[in-house]
């Protein structure tokens, strides 16, 4: 366990709580009120899902962006709840697609209940997110959220269609992660800026900040799937390999390997098993594929920070800058 990384993460979390903690609580209250129901089974599922919702990165991005752009208002609290609902819905559906039993050491909805419940509860979250977004006076947020959700679903569908494609290109890989991960980060930042009445130029810059940050996060996740610690990740390592998802480290490995090794690696990727996973990992180390992917994540983080230059100096801007480093240095 890397205690220095854990300490840095704890310090960053403390700064976030100090800056927007009260606003995150208001957003959580809106989230809970929107999903309030008299149906016991839905209450049980909601309570269960709240245990693996994670870092609240997207609502945090929306609120920090709003604060850095001039101030947080009620619209931001509502939209922070909206983007977290959408993200949670994608998690619930992802667990069905991946046939996952646990997320963050907690049983998934599909393993605790069943697939039908997971699909319907994910849909329930999606519909509530749009209902909540429509409560704002302007239809702008609904349009932007709708467009982004379409892109997220396209990214997920594309990833499924490419499973088992060992020849997946980097270009195609980045199309997938831009949709399934980066898009919701991007719209979170752009909505934070828009509802603080930023200029179009500032909104565009912050949208790009969120997109670059999202890509950095996803590449880091791909690396952690290979090199992380199972006790911290809350899941088994190598899940992308077993599901035949070609991620950036694996794509880079094929690019960098000598022809004879490339043929062996292709065979291992084509027949995922615990034995072949053990055989594959030394090649990742030998060809420094992890280091290559980590460098690309670092480049995205640097690009993200550059987009913050248009904002005035503030505590929230500093935290956003630190988030770019957290994205690529975290241990889980």
pLDDT for the residue numbered 214: 97
Report the pLDDT value the prediction gives residue 3, as an integer from 0 to 100: 66
pLDDT tens, the chain, 332 aa long = 456 677 878 889 899 999 999 999 999 999 999 999 999 999 998 888 888 767 789 999 999 999 999 899 999 999 999 999 999 998 888 888 777 777 777 888 888 888 898 999 999 999 999 999 999 988 999 999 999 999 999 999 999 999 999 999 999 999 999 999 999 999 999 999 999 999 999 999 999 999 999 999 999 999 999 986 654 544 567 888 998 999 999 999 999 999 999 999 999 999 999 999 999 999 999 999 999 999 999 999 999 999 999 899 999 999 999 999 999 987 55
Beta bridge partners of 102: 107
Find out whether 299 and 189 touch, Cβ atoms under 8 Å.
no
Each residue of 28-51: b (16+ CB within 10 Å) or e?
Answer: bebbeebbeeeeeebeebbebbee
The tokens for 68 are 């850095």
Per-residue pLDDT at 211: 98
pTM for the full predicted model: 0.92
* In 134-237, alpha helices (H): 140-161, 170-177, 183-194, 200-227, 230-233
pLDDT in the model for residue 272:
93
What pLDDT score was predicted for residue 101? 78
Question: What does the pLDDT read at residue 233?
Answer: 46
Q: What is the CATH code of the structural domain delimited by 9-324?
A: 1.10.600.10
Q: What CA–CA distance (Å, rounded) separates 129 from 78?
A: 10
Residue 266 to residues 10, 25, 269, Cα–Cα distance (Å) = 40, 48, 5
Q: How far is CA 169 from CA 250, 266, 293, in A?
A: 11, 14, 14
CA dihedral 244, 245, 247, 250 (to 10 degrees): 10
């Amino acid at each position: 366990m890397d205690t220095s990384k854990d300490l840095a993460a704890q310090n960053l979390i403390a700064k976030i709580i100090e800056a927007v903690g009260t606003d995150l609580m208001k957003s959580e209250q809106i989230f809970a009120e929107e999903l309030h129901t008299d149906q016991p089974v839905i209450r049980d599922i909601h309570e269960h899902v709240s245990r693996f919702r994670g870092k609240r990165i997207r609502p945090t991005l929306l609120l920090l962006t709003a604060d850095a752009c001039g101030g947080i208002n009620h619209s931001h609290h509502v939209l922070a709840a909206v983007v977290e609902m959408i993200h949670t819905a994608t998690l619930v559906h992802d667990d069905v697609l991946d046939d996952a039993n646990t997320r963050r050491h907690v049983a998934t909805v599909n393993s605790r209940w069943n697939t039908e419940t997971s699909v319907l509860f994910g849909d329930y979250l999606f519909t509530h997110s749009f209902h909540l977004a429509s409560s704002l006076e302007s239809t702008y947020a609904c349009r932007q959220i709708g467009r982004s959700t379409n892109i997220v679903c396209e990214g997920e569908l594309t990833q499924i269609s490419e499973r088992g494609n060992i020849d997946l290109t980097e270009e195609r890989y980045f199309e997938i992660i831009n949709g399934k991960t980066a898009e919701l980060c991007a719209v979170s930042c752009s909505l934070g800026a828009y509802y603080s009445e930023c200029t179009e130029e500032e909104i565009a810059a912050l949208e790009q900040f969120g997109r670059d940050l999202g890509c950095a996060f996803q590449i880091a996740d791909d690396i952690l799937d290979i090199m992380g610690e199972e006790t911290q990740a809350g899941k088994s390592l190598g899940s992308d390999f077993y599901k035949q998802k070609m991620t950036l480290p694996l794509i880079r490995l094929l690019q960098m390997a000598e022809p004879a090794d490339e043929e062996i690696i292709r065979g291992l990727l084509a027949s995922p098993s615990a034995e072949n996973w053990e055989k594959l990992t030394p090649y990742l180390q030998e060809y420094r594929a992890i280091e290559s992917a980590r460098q690309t994540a670092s480049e995205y983080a640097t690009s993200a920070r550059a987009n913050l230059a248009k904002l005035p100096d503030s505590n929230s801007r500093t935290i956003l800058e630190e988030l770019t480093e957290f994205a690529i240095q975290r241990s889980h």
